[in-house]
Structure formats: structure tokens, C-alpha cells
């Protein structure tokens, strides 16, 4: 069965600190997709990144970076030089490939609430 675990329920940092959000997943499929979403206090879910299981390259986008390691089934998210606007709940999610490549359901972790204080 698929499962996503975000062990950190809440993290509090001071502005400009680096912070890493952990994500561990379980799946039996060899083809799957991993995602990160941000949910700010306003409540919407904002797509940040998608990674497929065949691409273990680390990704960097501005202050955001992602580390995907199949050996440990982890897909961690790091924010460098955090800012107050980064305060939000961050969700890691997993989707398996179905029907020869079509999409499946998104399985979400419970989320990590990040608070960045000035």
C-alpha cells in the first residue's frame, strides 16, 4: 500500500535560517511520482514540484531545493534563507502510475507546519 510520512508536525525557525522538511514514502510500484504542495494560511494548495521515480536529480528553484533518494525512499525539501512568507503547511504527496502511464490518486502526507519568525 502507498503511504507518505512527514514525521515533523511543526517546525519553527527564525528568518534567514535554512530548514529541511522530511518526506518518506512507501510504494510497491517502480513507476511513481512525488510532489510537494504548499498551503499558506489563506488555504489554497499551491503546486511546488513533481518528480518521477526515474529522475533522481536534485532540483533547485531559487531558495527551494529538493533531494530525492530512492535508496532511502525520501524526497526532502529544503528552504534556504527562510522568509516570513514561507510560513505555511507543506505537504508531500505520492501518485502511482496506472493503466500504462495514466494518473492515479494523490496520496498526501499529514503535512508539516512551518512557522518562520522575523
Q: Residue numbers of the site for other proteins (CB under 8 A)?
A: 35, 37, 43-45, 47, 49-50, 52, 91, 95, 101-103, 105-106, 108-111
Q: Residue 20 or 105: which CB sits closer to other proteins?
A: 105
Q: Residue 17 or 24: which CB sits closer to other proteins?
A: 24
Q: Residue 100 or 118: which CB sits closer to other proteins?
A: 100
Q: How many helices (H) and strands (E) does the chain have?
A: 0, 12
Q: How far is the CB of 32 from other proteins (least distance, A)?
A: 13
Q: How far is the CB of 17 from other proteins (least distance, A)?
A: 27
- Provide the 10 A C-beta neighbour count for residue 113: 15
Q: Residue 63 or 98: which CB sits closer to other proteins?
A: 98
Per the CB < 8 A criterion, the answer to whether 82 and 16 are in contact is yes
| CA distances in angstroms from 3 to 9, 37, 64, 71, listed in the order given | 16, 16, 24, 16
Question: How far, in Å, CA of 106 to CA of 42, rounded?
Answer: 22
Amino acid at each position: 500500500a502507498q503511504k507518505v510520512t512527514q514525521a515533523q508536525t511543526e517546525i519553527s525557525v527564525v528568518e534567514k535560517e535554512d530548514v529541511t522538511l522530511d518526506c518518506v514514502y512507501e510504494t510497491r510500484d517502480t513507476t511513481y511520482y512525488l510532489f510537494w504542495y504548499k498551503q499558506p494560511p489563506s488555504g489554497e494548495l499551491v503546486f511546488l514540484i513533481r518528480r518521477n521515480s526515474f529522475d533522481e536529480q536534485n532540483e533547485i528553484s531559487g531558495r527551494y531545493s529538493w533531494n530525492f533518494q530512492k535508496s532511502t525512499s525520501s524526497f526532502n525539501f529544503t528552504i534556504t534563507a527562510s522568509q516570513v512568507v514561507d510560513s505555511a503547511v507543506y505537504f508531500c504527496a505520492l501518485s502511482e502510475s496506472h493503466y500504462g502511464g495514466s494518473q492515479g490518486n494523490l496520496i498526501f502526507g499529514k503535512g508539516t507546519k512551518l512557522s518562520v519568525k522575523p
